[in-house]
Amino acid sequence: MLTEKDYKAIRKELDECQRPLFLFDDDPDGLSSFLLFYRYKREGKGIIVKTHPKLDTSLIPKVEEYEPDKIFILDVPVVEQEFIDQCKRPVIWVDHHTPSQLNGVKYFNPRVSTPDEHEPTSSLCYNVVKQDLWLAAAGTIGDWFILPLLDDFKKEYPKLLPKEYKQAPDVLFNSKLGTLIRIFSFILKGTTHDAMKYIKVLTRVADPMEILDQQTAQGKFVYKRFEKINRKYEDLLEAAIAQNKKGEYLIYTYEADKMSFSSDLSNELIYRYPEKIIFVGRKKAGFVKGSVRSAKKVISTVLEKALVGIEGYGGGHELACGFCVNEEDFDRFVENFKREND
């Protein structure tokens, strides 16, 4: 875990800079982490790291262009040593993924001292700045964690949570906080340029109701963008649900040139159909890239075996994996999976 001393040290780093650059992961936890720090500091610039999961030297030109006096890396799982070396500025990295050991970076990760603790980055950032609890609530549930801070959030915004909830999906798919998280997830889609336009406006939002009830011009602007992307999502979800037949599997592929919805779709489908194994794949440039989900059966080892003899790769967690296979191999890949799973 991180200690009060760690939080103070990070706050001091924030206080003692004029032109910080924040590089953050492109999911609701990463976005919330950035918003928490930026709204505290009221200075600097944010950049989404779209090269998930790795931050490499391809972002160096953007660093040079902005000329920051300090760099904060938030919620990015992997950073190349080469990137740190070429930054030539103090780098502070706050994260909760598998710990790394790099030179020349001030590293704050609760798993270094407590390997089983995965407290999301937005919760760590909230402990540093102690303001905008709603952003920490969005970021942590967005990473599928229910933390005690949610009880405080509930006192402040009782209407944004379901009456009862046991697990993160109960909040994600059945509450206004869940909608807010989806808004965060969807405005990150598309080009970095587009996403940053909406994120800039988000930094001026002080209360979630501004967005959810479209109470201010800023909130309305963000919500309109969400609605536009959400229409595409709802169409795909409906088409995926139409594929639901008897049997253990729900398999859905779609074509979309600019935005991927595979992980959003597979998460919602496994919540709706917990007895199934879900395959969602997006066809693009001769490949099918997508997600596999299961609520009970371990699929990571099955996936590994199913990829033998297939052009492609895949992997992930026990119940949630990603894959990318040649489009011609997709059917055979699914058949392999079914065979290995029997």
**Would you tell me which residues interact with Mn ion (CB under 5 A)?**
29, 75, 120-121, 143
Q: How far is the CB of 74 from Mn ion (least distance, A)?
A: 9
Q: How far is the CB of 332 from Mn ion (least distance, A)?
A: 34
Q: Distance between CA atoms of 273 and 295, rounded to whole angstroms?
A: 9
Q: How far is the CB of 283 from Mn ion (least distance, A)?
A: 28
Q: Which of 144, 221 has the CB closer to Mn ion?
A: 144
**Residue 294, C-beta contacts closer than 8 angstroms, at least 6 positions apart:** 270, 276, 277, 278, 319
State both tokens at 104.
């020349």
Phi, psi values for residue 285, rounded to 5°: 50, 45
Q: Which of 31, 161 has the CB closer to Mn ion?
A: 31
Q: Distance between CA atoms of 6 and 17, rounded to whole angstroms?
A: 17
State both tokens at 147.
């933390």
Q: Which of 36, 325 has the CB closer to Mn ion?
A: 36
Compute the radius of gyration of the chain from its Cα atoms. 20
Phi, psi values for residue 117, rounded to 5°: -95, 120
Q: CA dihedral in degrees (231, 232, 237, 240; nearest 10)?
A: 150
Q: How far is the CB of 142 from Mn ion (least distance, A)?
A: 8
Q: Which of 32, 262 has the CB closer to Mn ion?
A: 32
Going from the C-alpha of 331 to that of each of 102, 120, 281, 315, the distances in angstroms are 42, 36, 11, 18
Q: How far is the CB of 28 from Mn ion (least distance, A)?
A: 9
Shortest Cβ contact with Mn ion: which residue?
A: 29
Q: How far is the CB of 123 from Mn ion (least distance, A)?
A: 9
Q: Which of 6, 143 has the CB closer to Mn ion?
A: 143
Q: Which of 185, 218 has the CB closer to Mn ion?
A: 185
